[in-house]
Chains A and B, each alone.
Chain A
C-alpha cells in the first residue's frame, strides 16, 4: 500500500504503525505534518525565487526539478507551486501538527484520561490522513501534472473545463479524505472532552489548550462537511459531467460558479478559526505558565473562544465582496466581521493582562508565544482593512491579503506550533530541546518573517496582485522589484533558519538532556506523570482540585516553597488557613507534593 511509505513511523516497532495509543498517533501526525511542512516551505522558497528573479534559472535545484525548461520555473509549474504550497501548508502541515499531533497528545493527558474515547477511530483518522497525503502526492506524477487551480480551487477554473487532467481530480479526492480524517478526529476530541474528564475536572478547570481544541473540533465537525459537499459536487462535475459549477444558459438553466465560493468559504472562514483556536489555547496557557501567574480573565477567554466559534460561520461573505453580492448582504457581512474582532480583542487584552507584572521567564516556548502575540496583533489588525468593503475593493486579491493571512496562518500559527513543540517535547520524547539553538531559531525566525509578511503587506498596498507569474510585465509593478528581492532574501533567511529547528529537533531527540517529570514547574495533569508517560498515562485516574493555572499564590509559596500547585493537590493548600482545627495543612501538602516529584524550589521566582 502506497500510504505506508508516506507515514514515517515514529514508534520503534512496526506494530506501532497500527497503534491505538493516542500518544503514538500524535507522533505519527507530527511526523507526517513536519515532513509536509518542509515540502511546503521548500515550495515557498521556489515561489520567492521567481518573485525576486522572474524567469531566471533556479540555483542548485533548478536543473533537477525544472529540467525541461532549463531550470526556469515555467508558468504552469509556478501555478502548481502556489496551489500546492497553500494546499499542503493548510491541510497537510498545520492541520496534522496543530490538531492531529497536539490535539491527540494533549487532550487525554490534560483532562486526566487514559486514552481517547474511540481509539480505533483515532487510528483510522491517521490512516485516512495518510491516504490523503498519498493521493495528493500522486497528483504530481500524472499526465498534465499537479493541480493548478489555487488552494481555493475556485470553479470554473477547477472544473474539467478550466483544469483538465487527473491531477486536479486527485486533489479533490485528497481534500475529501483529509476532511474525513479531520471529522473523525473531531468526533473523538469532542466525545473525549465531554465524557472522559477526570473527576473534579469541571469545564472551568480545563486548561485553555483543551478549550481551544474543543472549539476547533466543533467547527471541524460542522463545517468540514460543507467543504466535503463542495468537493463531492466538484468531483461529480469533473468525473460524471454534472453542471453544478458551470454556468448555464438563461433558458435551460444551469450551474453557478459562485455557488462553489459559498460552499468553500462557508467552510473556509471557520477554517481560519479551526487553525487559530488551538494556537490561542496553547498561547493562553503558556503565557500564564511562563509569567508565573494565573491566566488573566480565564472565563472571558473561554467566552471569547465560544463567541468566535459561534460567529465564525456568519462572516464568510467577506471573502466574496467582489463577487457582486447584494450591497445589503455585503454590509451585513462587514458588520459581523467587525463584531468578531471584539472577542478577539478581549482575548488579546487578557494575554496582555496575564503578562502584566508577571514574573516572566524567557524560556524558548515563551519567546515563541510572545512572538505570536505580536504577529497575531499585526495580522489581526490588517484583517480589519479587508473586512471593510470599501478598502477590500482595492486590496482584494493583492499581496496585502497574502501578507495578512500569512501573519496569522504562517506566523502566529507556526509560532504556536514551535511553542507547543518546545513546551511538550520533554513530555513527548522524554528529552529537553536545546535552549540556545531554540533562541537562535526564534530570533532569526521572528525578524525574517516580519520582513517577509510585512513586506507583502506593503507591496500589496502598492497594488501588486497575488498569483502573478512575473509582475515585471506590468510597468506599474516594475519599481517594486527591489522590495520583492528584499522580501525574498528575508524569506531565504527564514527558510534557512528552519534548518536550525530541524537540527535542534533531531539532536535533542538523540542526545538532549533527560527531561524530568515537570521541567517547566507547572500544575496541569500531563506534568504529574513521567516523561514520556506510560502506555495508559495515569496509574490511577487523578482527582482534580484546582484550575490549570495555580501559579504565584503566596500561600502556596509559604507552605511548599514553590510557586505552583498541581491540579490534583489538596484544595486547602491554595486557601488561607482556617481558624478551626483543620489539622496541619502544610503536612497534608508535603504528602501530595510528592506527586510532582520535582525539586521543590523553583528557579528564580522571587
Chain B
C-alpha cells in the first residue's frame, strides 16, 4: 500500500516538475522572442530609411535554396512533434528514433544554411557588402545559433540512456518540441518578412 502511495506521489511530483519546467521554458522563449523582436525592429528601421529595398544593385538572395531550407526546418519541427506523440504513447524506442531524425533534419538545415552563406559571401554579397547583407547575415546568423542550441538539446535527448518512456525523457522532449516550434516561427517570420520582400 505504501508502495502504491509513493508511486502516486512520484506521479504527482513528475506532473509538478513538468509544469514547472514548462513555465521556465515559456519565460525563456519570451526572452528569446524579445531578442528577435529587437532584431526585426532594427531591420524595420534600416528598411524604412533606405531609399529602395532591396537597395539598388543588390544581388538577389537564393530564394529557392532558402525555401528548401524552410521545408527542412519545418520537417524537423513536425518529426519532433511525432516523436513526442510516440513518447506520450509510451513507445520510447520510436520516440528516440524520431528525435534522431529531427536531429538529422536540423543539422541538414544548418549545413544548407552554411552553403548559402558561403555562396553569398563568395559572390560579393557578404555581411560587409551593405545594409542588405548586414540584415540577412545578422538575423540568419543569430537564428542559426539558436538552431545549434536546439541540436545540442536534441543530441542530449537521443544519447541519454533513460529507460524508454520515463517521465524525464518525456519532459525533455516536450520542452525541445516547444523550443523547435519557436525556432521555426522565427525562421518563418524571417523567410517571409525579410527574404521574400
Contact = CB atoms under 8 A, between A and B. Distances in A.
Contacts, number: 125
B127 A240 contact: yes
From A194, A226, A229, name the one whose CB has the most chain B CB atoms within 10 angstroms.
A229
A225 B35 contact: yes
B193 interface: no
A118 interface: yes
B25 to A, nearest CB: 9
Interface string B123-158: 000111011011001100110000000000000000
A228 interface: yes
Given A259-B45, A266-B38, A191 B130 contact: no
A251 B52 CA distance: 9
A242 B20 CA distance: 40
A213 B57 CA distance: 51
Contacts of A251: 51, 56
A223 B24 CA distance: 17
B42 interface: yes
B130 A240 contact: no
Interface string B36-66: 1111011001100111110110000000000
Nearest to B36: A229
Contact of B127 (A117, A183, A222, A241): A241
A432 B109 CA distance: 59
Interface residues of A, number: 42
Given A191-B24, A226-B34, A244 B42 contact: yes
B134 A221 contact: no
Contact of A229 (B19, B23, B42, B130): B42
B187 to A, nearest CB: 17
Interface residues of B, number: 38
A232 interface: yes
A124 interface: no
Contact of A242 (B31, B41, B128): B128
A187 interface: yes
Contacts of A226: 34-35, 37-38
B130 A256 contact: no
B31 A240 contact: no
A221 B24 CA distance: 11
B27 A191 contact: yes
A248 B137 contact: no
A74 interface: no
B51 to A, nearest CB: 6
Given A187-B24, A191-B23, A222-B31, A232 B55 contact: no
15 contacts: A121-B24, A187-B28, A191-B27, A195-B20, A196-B20, A222-B34, A226-B34, A232-B35, A236-B141, A243-B131, A244-B131, A248-B131, A251-B56, A252-B131, A256-B46
Interface of B: 16, 19-20, 23-24, 27-28, 30-32, 34-39, 41-42, 45-46, 49-53, 55-56, 126-128, 130-131, 133-134, 137-138, 141-142
